[in-house]
């Protein structure tokens, strides 16, 4: 292969899950994963099932991940621009996979996220709150494109917003 894949993020220690576990706990408090709090006491489908499972989540991730690469507002930050131009060809497929698993696991699907804590994965990009919000806008556009219902869309946006302090680490 003329572009060897950088394997630095393929395997992680158990400590990598700390940030994810905290986010998952927060989401469960707000009934974003399996929701057992219906008035009848009947168990509702998990957010994962209500979204349509792994294929539906992967389709949304695929779309917003491609949009981020070419969004002019997300090509001003030099580190992000360099990633979009030189690393994306070999790393974007894996990034889409990791994002899909992250969302699927958080939404209550039968998956475990084993990647880097989000803080570690994004620290080198020094992302600003404005860049974070623009990625959020791309996620909403992708959810709208696939006609994800308002409630599920809001729950995913809420989950995304919970990661802001971990991901957007640029000095204010």
Residues that bind ligand HEM (CB under 6 A): 9, 80, 83, 87, 91, 95, 98-99, 102-103, 115-116, 118, 121-122, 127, 131-132, 135, 160, 163, 167
Q: Smaller CB distance to ligand HEM: residue 43 or 143?
A: 143
Residue 34 makes CB contacts below 8 A (sequence gap 6+) with: 28, 43, 44, 46, 108
Span between the terminal Cα atoms of the chain, in Å: 42
Q: Which residue is nearest to ligand HEM (CB)?
A: 115
Minimal distance in Å, beta carbon 17 to ligand HEM? Answer: 11
Cβ 160 to ligand HEM shortest distance, Å: 5
Tell me the β-bridge partners of 35.
44
Minimum Å distance from CB 118 to ligand HEM? Answer: 6
Return all residues near 161 (Cβ < 8 A) that are at least 6 apart. Answer: 136
């Amino acid at each position: 292969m003329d572009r060897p894949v950088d394997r630095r993020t393929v395997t992680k220690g158990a400590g990598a899950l700390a940030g994810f576990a905290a986010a998952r706990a927060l989401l469960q408090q707000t009934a974003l994963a399996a929701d057992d709090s219906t008035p009848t006491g009947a168990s509702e489908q998990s957010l994962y099932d209500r979204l349509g499972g792994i294929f539906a989540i992967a389709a949304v991730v695929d779309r917003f991940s491609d949009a981020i690469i070419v969004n002019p507002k997300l090509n001003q930050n030099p580190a992000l621009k360099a990633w979009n131009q030189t690393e994306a060809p070999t790393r974007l497929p894996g990034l889409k996979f990791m994002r899909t698993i992250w969302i699927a696991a958080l939404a209550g699907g039968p998956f475990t996220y084993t990647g880097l804590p989000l803080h570690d994965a994004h620290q080198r990009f020094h992302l600003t709150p404005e860049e974070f919000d623009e990625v959020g806008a791309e996620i909403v556009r992708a959810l709208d494109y696939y006609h994800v219902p308002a409630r599920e869309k809001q729950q995913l946006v809420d989950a995304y917003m919970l990661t802001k302090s971990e991901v957007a680490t640029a000095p204010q």
